[in-house]
Each structure stands twice: as C-alpha cells, then as structure tokens.
Chains A and B, each alone.
Chain A
Amino acid sequence: MISVRGLRKHYKVHKRPPGLKAAFRSLFHREYTTVKAVDGISFEIRAGERVGFLGPNGAGKTTTLKVLSGLLHPSEGEVRVDGHVPRHREEAFLKKIMLVMGQKQQLLWDLPPAETFELNRAIYDVPQAQFKQTVDELVALLELEELIQKPSRQLSLGERMKCELAAALIHRPRVLFLDEPTIGLDVSMQVTMRSFIKAYTERHGATLILTSHYMDDVAALCPRIVVIDKGALSYDGGLDALVQRVRPEKRVMFRLEQPVEAARLTSLGRVVSHEPGSAVLQVPPEAVSATISRALSSLPVTDLTVENAPLEEVMSELFAENKARRASVAGEVGS
C-alpha cells in the first residue's frame, strides 16, 4: 500500500545572524546551510496495517508524513501510496487520504463543526446517502451530538479534537495520517481517541500511520513501530521486540506491608525506587522468577506486578545509543 525507498528531504536554509552589520551583509551575500530533515529512509506498509512513527523532536517524522501526503516534494527517493505518486496530488489520491495535525486545525472557527462537515462533503464529492451514514456513525462513536451544532471556538480542546477527527473522516479515507493527535488532551480523552481510531481502522480496513510522543498511544494502537532519529530509520518492527532489544530487563513492583531496609532490596536486584510502602526493582528477564520467589519468602510483600521498562525510558535509551554511535562515527571520520 505504502512504499518508501531512499527518501531524502534536504532544505537549504539561509542563516540569519542577528545585529545590524550582519543584516547589511546579508543583503549582498547570503550564507546557506543544508538541513537534512530526512536522510535516506525506506519502508513498506501493507494495507490495513497500523504503524507508529516514533522519534525525538525534529527527527523527521512530520516531514515524512508530509511527503507521504503530497504536501512536500522529496529531494530524492521514490514514494508510492496506493499506486499514486503523492507529489502529483492527483484528485483520486487526495480523496483517499487524510491528515490530522494535533496542533493545527481545519475546523471553521466561528461556525459549528457541522458546517465543516458539509463543506468537506462538497469538496470531496461525497454522495448524500453515504454522507449521512458516515456522519451518524461518527457522531455515535465519538459522542458528538451536542457538540456539532456549537461554534468550534466554544468547544474545549478535547471536544474540538474529536470533531477534527470526524471532519477528516467524512470522505472515508483509506489511508490515515495522524500527527500527534492526542497532544494536550487529558487522559480520558486520549483513551477515547485511541479506542475510536482502533475501531474505525478495523471496521473500514484503513491503513494508519501515527506519530506521537505519548508512548501509550503507540502501545495501544500500533503493533509495528518505525523509529526515526535525526532523519534516519533507527528501527522497524514490533514494539515488544524493540523493548527486548534495548531494555530487556523487567520491572518488578512490590507492595510492602511494612518499611524494609535498603540492604535487603539491593541483594535481590537493582533498586529503581524505594518507598516506605513499595519498591521497584529492575531485574534481568532470566532472573525474574527466581527473584520473585526470593522476594516472596524474604519480604513482607502484599502485591506484586511485573512489567516491561517504561517505553519512555526505552526510547531515551535508544536515542542515546544512536547519538553515541553517531558521535563515534564522526570521531572516526574526523581522526
């Protein structure tokens, strides 16, 4: 469905130094630097897959999404979405995709979302019957009845995002690009959005690419993740496999009946946190059951859970690894 080969996107940015003298000089002589937003990325996505793009800020995730939706021309490389070349921006192509950007909105500000729905219906040429069916489905799934007749500016951020999502789905796109859709939303709204997106993509067999900083979004929605760091692909595969590779250690969380001295914990494994009523240990996977049985016999444990390391930490460690690797490569090249 989506095929990206050797994608590169470079920008020539001219340096704007501060100060009056520099401003004068720049009138005559411009200095340029090349920003490599995306520097050689390749991947394939099948129809109906849900993929999460992860990466630090400025890594190139949004740039890649924009190239896939035809908003940006690649500097190099081949991109195909459902057989179309995105940058040609064919009408048939545009009717198949949607892009939602969490920090920007397409809803008409002073008018109710229902007007935006109508507008999109006219723009995407959606037949009346299908339009009604789609709107009813979206209103039911997202609980929008009371919201769609109020002017958008009167809605809260969470309500607006729900309506944004609905407006973007009026034309039943087959490919969904979501760029940080849950940013700034409270936890319950994030959960609502996630379950809606999952239900929608499953019901309609849509392909999804999601970028997010909230690991929970990705963990809940995307069995496959692509990690982009400094414009390059750092990992492409399952989430669990990544965690195994980067931070295979498990977290064992104990609830304790009474406070325990640190010495008794350190003998069991690496102590991550130690409170009067609880403690968290980091333990290599092969030692988990042994550690647990020792803990149960030697500590006043009332409850315990075993988890993977938090995704945030896994990702930071991955990025730190990448950074160190880049630095050493640069060091070798330099010397």
Chain B
Amino acid sequence: MLRRYSRLLGVQLRASSLLAMQYRGDFLLEGVISLFWTFTAMVPLLVVYGERQAIAGWSFGEALLVVGWFTLLQGVLEGAITPSLNGVVEHIRKGTLDFVLLKPADAQFLVSTTRFEPWRSTNVLTGVAIFVYSFHLLGRGPSIPGLLASVVLLGTSTLLLYSMWILTVSAAFFVVKVDNLTYFFQSIFDAARWPSSVFKGPLAFVFTFLIPLALMTTFPAEAMLGRLPLRALVAAVVGSIVFAFISRRVWLRSIGHYTSAGG
C-alpha cells in the first residue's frame, strides 16, 4: 500500500511539474511578488529597531531569524500546501469533489497532492539567506544541536500548517461559498512574522495553543540560538502530531457530512 501511494505521489508531482513548466512565467512572477512582500514587510521591523535595541527580549539579529523562518515556512506553505487545498474549495464549488470520492484512494491524500508549485522554493532559499545574514549580524554561528532541533521543528511546523489548512478546508464543506480562505489563512499566519513574546495575555494563549504560530517560527529561531529547552521541542513534536490527528478526524467527519447531507 505504501508503494502504491508513493507511486501516486510520483504521478501527481510529475503533473504539477508539467504545469509549472507550462505556466512558468506566471509562477515566477508570483514568486517575485512574494519576495517583494517579504522584504517590504521588514520595513516595520527596521522602523521598530531604529528606535529600540531590543523588543520583548529579542535583538534585531535575533528577530531577523524569526523573519527568516517565516519566509521559509511561507515557501513551504505556498509551494506545497496551499495550491492543492485551494483546489478542494474549487471542487466543492464546481461539484467535482464527487470524482475524488469515487476514486479507490484516500480522499485526503488525493486532494493534498494535486498541485505543487516548485517555483516557491525561492522563498526557501531566501529564508536560508536571511539566516546567514542574521548570524553574520550576531557575530556567531548557530549551535549544532540547535540546528538539528530546528530541522525537526521544520517538520513539525509543516505538519502543523498542513493540519491547520485541513481544518480550514473542512469548514468549507459546511460553509460552501467561502472562497477567500487563502487570504484569511495568510492574514492569520502573518502574526508568525514576529517573535511570539510580543503577544501578551489572551493573544499569547491563542497563538500558542489554538493557532500554534508561536511554535512555527519562534521555536525554530530559539533552537538555532541554542536557547530552546528540550521539553519545548518535545511539546512541539507531540503537539503537532496531536493536531494532525485531530485535523484528520475533523476531515473524515466533514466528508461524512458531505456524503450524507447531499454534497
């Protein structure tokens, strides 16, 4: 079964690459605009640090690490997750989700692997470039165990983002006409651009447990700086697995609702 699904994944990747080559002008342009946005969004950071040396315990170089992780994850999000899941909302709207449900393969897998945009890897490269620059500013390198931990956290963050998207898309089964979910998702994700200690009180609770943005960008940055406690790493791994499990259940429930309520 694993072999079958990996073969399926291969076929889907090939179809996406063909599409990416065909529309490369479009995709490249979107990638460029995304980068433009990344850099211009740093302007407030520059303004803030023009006034102060440290914000909520983070120096400029350290805060830049968070921005780097944000950019990297944004590349993963917009390259591997959003394109496919946007397709689900389209399917529901056009009534073609039925075709997906007719296939003898897991619907969530099929729907999540429909489309990849390889050109968004420019974001990933930019993120890495930002890391290099930040450490140059900080005058030292990342701690090696920290670096390994941050790679693990890349995996947990991706899993978290994916699960969040599955939850959002499951909502589309109930509220069919909502087709600006991408924008909504991105607007929430924007909060991950800043170190999570900036958020205090109820917002801190929301962004740590409900929409775990803190885990996604702040934790990896702290890991690279060598100051992430082990238990935080464990919590991130466990938390993301639990979140993925919950989102899977919600997805299955939503599909069940779709098939019994008439699609």
In the complex they form, whether A and B have CB atoms below 8 Å apart is answered with: yes
Q: Is the interface of B mostly helix, strand, loop or mixed?
A: helix
Interface size class of B (residues with CB under 8 A): 20 to 34
Q: How many chain A residues touch the partner (CB < 8 A)?
A: 33
Q: List residues of B whose CB falls within 8 A of some A CB.
A: 4, 7-8, 10-12, 15, 18-19, 22-23, 94-96, 98-99, 101-105, 110, 259-263
Given A71-B101, A94-B102, A125-B4, decide whether A106 and B15 contact each other with a Cβ distance below 8 A. no
Which residues from B are CB-within-8-Å of A73?
259-260
Other contacts beyond A72-B262, A73-B259, A87-B259: 17, CB < 8 A: A11-B261, A63-B262, A66-B98, A70-B259, A73-B260, A92-B104, A98-B102, A104-B94, A104-B96, A104-B98, A110-B19, A111-B19, A115-B18, A118-B11, A122-B4, A123-B105, A125-B104
Partner of A97, one of B18, B22, B23, B102: B102
CA distance A118 to B102 in the complex (A): 17
Q: Judging by beta carbons under 8 Å apart, are A89 and B8 in contact?
A: no
A89 touches B101 (CB 8 A): yes
CB distance from B113 to the nearest CB of A (A): 11
- On whether the beta carbons of B263 and A94 are closer than 8 Å, the reply is no
**The 9 nearest A-B residue pairs measured at CB:** A94-B104, A106-B99, A91-B104, A122-B11, A73-B260, A122-B8, A95-B104, A104-B96, A123-B103
Contact indicator B4/A66 (Cβ below 8 Å): no
Scan A90-113; emit 1 where CB is below 8 A from any B CB, else 0: 011011011101001110101100
CA gap between A72 and B96 in the complex, in Å: 14
Q: Which residues of B contact A106 (CB under 8 A)?
A: 96, 99
How close is B107's CB to chain A, nearest CB, in angstroms? 9
A73-B259, A73-B260, A87-B259 known; A119 vs B104 contact (CB < 8 Å): no
Residues of A within 8 A of B (CB): 9, 11, 37, 63, 66, 69-73, 87, 89, 91-92, 94-95, 97-99, 101, 104-106, 108, 110-111, 115, 118-119, 122-125
A98 to B15, alpha carbons, bound, how many Å? 23
Q: Which residues of B contact A104 (CB under 8 A)?
A: 94-96, 98-99
| Chain A hits for B7, CB < 8 A | 122
Cα A73 to Cα B255 in complex, Å, equals: 11
Cα separation A198 to B12 with both chains bound (whole Å)? 33
**Residue from A11, A91, A105 within 8 A of B96 (CB atoms):** A105
Residues of B within 8 A of A97 (CB): 102
Distance in angstroms between the alpha carbons of A86 and B9 in the assembled complex = 27
Contacts of A99 in B (CB 8 A): 98-99, 102
Which of chain B's residues have a CB closer than 8 A to the CB of A119? 11-12, 15
- Report the Cα distance A72→B110, complex, angstroms: 19
17 contacts between A and B (CB under 8 A): A63-B262, A70-B102, A71-B102, A71-B263, A72-B263, A91-B104, A92-B104, A94-B103, A104-B98, A106-B96, A110-B22, A111-B15, A111-B18, A119-B11, A119-B12, A122-B11, A125-B104
